[in-house]
Amino acid sequence: MQCLSRGDVWYAEFPSSSRHEQAGRRPAIILADIPKVEMAVVVPLTKNLERAELPFTHVIAPSKENGLPEESVALIFQLRALDKTRFRDKLGVIGPRELTIIKSMIADMFGIRT
């Protein structure tokens, strides 16, 4: 199985679902690797910059470190758990600033401020 770490950016195969959920091969940010069940919790990314107007999204610029080919929008409101067999290629790692922003937005979204 893949070794997935928080902040990694991987191409993943998202299963087909309803019309509002992301599907197909796309980059995703790993938030948690859950080895006992061979799953990972991820934030899917899209290159559709219009999605940045939605709540709980964050634009990430491409960099050598994250390996993204273009500016992408982290769709934080679409947190997903995926089987680890769905991860294909590691692109890179997001920076600590982006990870902090994403974690803060998740806390806001779920109302779990400490």
State the Rg of the chain over Cα. 13
Biggest CA-to-CA distance, the chain? 37
Core vs surface per residue 19-35: b (16+ CB within 10 A) or e: eeebeeebbbbbbebee
Q: What distance lies between CA 53 and its chain's CA centroid?
A: 17
The model's pTM is 0.90
pLDDT (0 to 100) of residue 28: 97
Instruction: For the domain covering 8-110, report its CATH number.
Output: 2.30.30.110
State phi, psi for 109 to the nearest 5 degrees.
-60, -40
Q: Is the pLDDT of residue 1 over 60?
A: no
State phi, psi for 96 to the nearest 5 degrees.
-60, -30
In this predicted model, what pLDDT tens digit does every residue of 55-106 receive, in sequence order? 999 999 999 999 999 999 999 999 999 999 999 899 999 999 999 999 999 9
Domain residues of the chain, as ranges?
8-110
pLDDT, the chain, mean: 91
